Structure 1
Amino acid sequence: MISYYNQGTNYKLKHKRSLSNWINQVVHLENSNFSIGNINVVLCDDEYVLDINKQFLNHNYYTDIITFDYCENTLISGDLMISIDTVKSNAKEYDVPFIEELYRVIAHGVLHLLGYKDSTENEKSEMRVAENNALILLKSIIPF
């Protein structure tokens, strides 16, 4: 089950059912043996994500997403804590529409749950390719 929440932001995410279908497709395209457990997409403000970053990861900086992985074997579960503030800033910096950047960040979190990493340049490159593929798939479901 995929659930959506707001924490410290009034942003209203649209197309939740279509987004959930897309997340399911991304998971199953990666590995048809995977199934969705509980994935929580939590839209937050910068301060909430900063607090989580400090408390759980010992990092004192803002970030667009923190992914908590609760996967067990082939059951994909986790929390995606997304800072709407940072996503907006990044969209401006990268000169892309806000909604595209938000969808990319959601894909990024799901890909972390699927085992993708982004510590090295090679891992970052693989992640970016997978994000782009996920966005291409999403555009066939929700034009943006």
Structure 2
Amino acid sequence: MTVIVQNRQEKVKVENGWLSAVRRAAELTLDLLGPKREVEVGITLLDDDGIRELNRRYRGKDAPTNVLAFPMGEEDPPVLLLGDVVISLETARSEAEEEGKEIEEKLAHLTVHGVLHLLGYDHETDAEEALMREKEEAVLAMWRRERAG
């Protein structure tokens, strides 16, 4: 499995541990719920302006959001390129402060949420949302246990 994490913004200083928290959350999600073959996922941290532009261009919504997922959808490649997850570090930091969470925890949650979208999970109906939340919590519980040592 290959998880590529990139910081493509300069508005929020990325502290030690943030990128590894994102990478590990993606790895755990793929280990637990992903296909049993070689996969690649890209995760990019943007600022609100950058994610707003993507949200406007691809979803018709002219506002920043916390996370977007862009599945690749190729037919049976040798390495399954699942797609890309884009996270607004600005929004993630604000939401973490509002929720009283550490930024690593918020980034892990958004990463898991985005990777689940790449794996086909959604939250359009109450049933889909409940299933997605159940999967998120299962992965995040593993992530928290690992982090606690």
TM-score interval (norm. to shorter): 0.7 to 0.9
The answer for the alignment partner of 2:137 in structure 1 is: 132
Q: Using the TM superposition, give the Cα deviation of residue 82 of structure 1 relative to its aligned residue in structure 2, in angstroms.
A: 0.3
Give the number of aligned pairs: 143
Q: How does 1:1-144 map to 2 (within 5 A)?
A: 1-9=2-10, 10-12=13-15, 14=17, 20=23, 22-31=25-34, 33-36=36-39, 38-72=40-74, 75-143=80-148
Task: Tell me the percent identity.
Answer: 24
Q: Using the TM superposition, give the Cα deviation of residue 63 of structure 1 relative to its aligned residue in structure 2, in angstroms.
A: 0.5
Unaligned runs of 5+ in 1: none
Task: State the one-letter code of the partner of 1:126.
Answer: L
Greater relative CO, 1 or 2 (CA 8 Å, sep 6+): 2
SS for the counterpart of 1:77 is strand
Q: Using the TM superposition, give the Cα deviation of residue 94 of structure 1 relative to its aligned residue in structure 2, in angstroms.
A: 2.4
Question: Partners in 1 of 2:65 and 2:83 — Cα distance?
Answer: 18
Question: Partners in 2 of 1:17 and 1:86 — Cα distance?
Answer: 19
Q: Using the TM superposition, give the Cα deviation of residue 55 of structure 1 relative to its aligned residue in structure 2, in angstroms.
A: 1.4
TM-score by length of 2: 0.81
- Say if 1:58 and 1:41 are closer, same or farther in 2 by CA, change over 3 A: same
More moved, 17-26 vs 118-127: 17-26
More moved, 76-85 vs 20-29: 20-29
- Any conservation in 2 of the 1:28–1:34 contact (CA below 8 Å)? no
Q: Using the TM superposition, give the Cα deviation of residue 17 of structure 1 relative to its aligned residue in structure 2, in angstroms.
A: 5.9
Unaligned runs of 5+ in 2: none
Q: Using the TM superposition, give the Cα deviation of residue 24 of structure 1 relative to its aligned residue in structure 2, in angstroms.
A: 3.3
SS for the counterpart of 1:142 is helix
Q: Using the TM superposition, give the Cα deviation of residue 16 of structure 1 relative to its aligned residue in structure 2, in angstroms.
A: 5.0
- Say if 1:88 and 1:18 are closer, same or farther in 2 by CA, change over 3 A: closer
